[in-house]
Amino acid sequence: MDTPQGPYVRQIPPATPRPTGVEPGIGAEEAAHIAAATWGLPDFVFRSALASKGSGRRELGDRLLLSGGRCAVIQVKSRTIKPKADPEERAWIQKVTANAMRQAKGTVRTLRLQSANMINGRDRTLPLKGDAYEWMAVFLLDHDQVPADTVATWEPIGMPALAVTRRDWDFLFDQLRSTTAVLDYLFRVADEPQIALGHEPVRYYECAAADADAPPAEMDTELVGPGGTLFSTPLLPQAPAESGETRAHLVLRFILEDVATSMLRNSVSESDRLIVLSDLDRLPVGIREE
C-alpha cells in the first residue's frame, strides 16, 4: 500500500492447513473454526445444528460467530478438485457463492421462527433465538488458486453479506485477536462494494489508515470520574495485536479463559457468561496494552 510515509508492505501467510484425515470440505470448516477459536475465543464460535423443517431437517450454517448482539452465519465452500481454467473457476465460484448466501438466508429465517440449541467451541450449549441478534452472512471460500481479480456476486438476501477467502479469515483473526473486533469489521465492510477475493487485507489497512486519520470522538468525562485518564485509539489498529512491548493480549486472554472456565459454571447460565465475555472482549484492541 502507498502511504504518506511511503510504501507499506505486509506479508500475509497462506491459510492454515486443513486437518488431515477428513474430507476437504469438512476440513475447511474445521480449520475456520480452529482459527476463530484460537485467535478469538472458543465460546464465540458455534458448530452447525439441525432444525426440523416439515418432514425433514435443515442444517443451521456451517458455523456461527456470535458476540454481543451480533451474529454471523458462516458458510464454507471448498474446491475439492484440481482447479480448471480461470473462466471455469470464476463460474464455479459464482455458483457456490449464490448457494452459500441462500443457505445463510435460510438459516437466519429458520432461527427467527424457532430457537435452537447451539454448541460452542467449549462444548457448551446456548439456546439461540434469532430475533435477539443482528445478522449477517459470510461466505468463506477455501480455494488455493482463486483467479486474479475475481469478485464474488450474489442476489440481495435481506441482510449484510460478505465473501472472503479462508486466508483473509485467518488474517483478520490473527491481526485483531478478538472475535468482537472481527465481527465489527465484517459488519463494517459488508455494506461496501465487494472487492476481489483475497484482497481483504488491503481493504483492512485502508480502513485502518482512515481510522488513524479520524479525529477522536467526544466523550462525557463524567463517565471517567475523578483522576481518570482518557485514551483515544483507532477502531482498527495498523499493528498486529500481539506486536506491542507487553503481553497485554495474553493477560486479557487469561482473564477471558478464567471467566469461561469458572467453577461458577453450574450456577451461571451460559447466556449470562457469554454476555460477560462479550463485554470484556469489546475492550478496543488498540488500547489493550495501555
Name every residue whose Cβ is closer than 8 Å to that of residue 53 and which is 6 or more positions away in sequence: 110
Q: Is 152 in contact with 95 (CB distance < 8 Å)?
A: no
**92 vs 21, more confident:** 92
Measured CA to CA, the distance from residue 285 to residue 288 in angstroms comes to 6
pLDDT computed for residue 265 by the predictor: 63
**Structure confidence at residue 82 (pLDDT):** 87
For residue 52, what pLDDT is reported?
Answer: 66
Mean pLDDT along residues 138-151: 94
**Cβ–Cβ contacts within 10 Å for residue 257, how many?**
15
pLDDT of res. 77: 95
pLDDT tens for 95-129 read 999 999 999 999 999 999 988 999 999 999 999 99
Return d(Cα 41, Cα 45) in angstroms, integer.
7
198: left (phi over 0), alpha (psi -120 to 50) or beta: left
Beta-carbon contacts of 191 under 8 Å, excluding residues fewer than 6 positions away, are 160
* pLDDT single digits (tens) 240-267: 988 878 888 889 999 999 999 886 767 8
Residue pair 46/118 in contact by the 8 Å Cβ criterion: yes
* pLDDT-above-70 percentage for the chain: 97
> Does residue 200 carry a pLDDT above 80?
yes
Q: What is the pLDDT of residue 7?
A: 82
CB-count burial class (<10 Å; 0-12, 13-18, 19+) for 99: middle
Position 56 scores a pLDDT of: 63
pLDDT at 59: 79
DSSP character for 120? B
pTM summary value: 0.92
Q: Which three cell numbers stand for residue 17?
A: 492447513
Q: What is the reported pLDDT for 11?
A: 87
User: For the chain, how far is it from start to end, CA to CA, in angstroms?
Assistant: 28
Identify the residue with better confidence: 177 or 223.
177
pLDDT at 53 exceeding the cut of 70: no
Q: Please give the mean pLDDT across all residues of the chain.
A: 90
Q: Is the pLDDT of residue 55 over 70?
A: no
pLDDT score recorded for residue 144: 87
Which domains does the chain carry?
16-213 (3.40.91)
Alpha helices per DSSP H over the chain: 24-35, 86-113, 166-176, 179-190, 200-213, 248-260, 270-281
Confirm if 281 and 179 have CB atoms less than 8 A apart.
yes
User: Which segment of 36-45, 181-190, 234-243 scores lowest on mean pLDDT?
Assistant: 234-243
pLDDT class of 276 with cuts at 50, 70, 90: very high
pLDDT at res. 35: 96
Nearest to 261 by CA among 63, 65, 71, 123: 123
Q: How far apart are CA 13 and CA 267, in angstroms?
A: 43
Residue partners of 1: CB distance under 8 A and separation at least 6? 7, 8, 202, 205, 206, 209
The pLDDT value recorded for residue 98 is 96
Contact 261, 120 (CB under 8 A): no
Q: Which has more pLDDT, 5 or 187?
A: 187
CA nearest neighbour of 114 among 101, 129, 92:
129
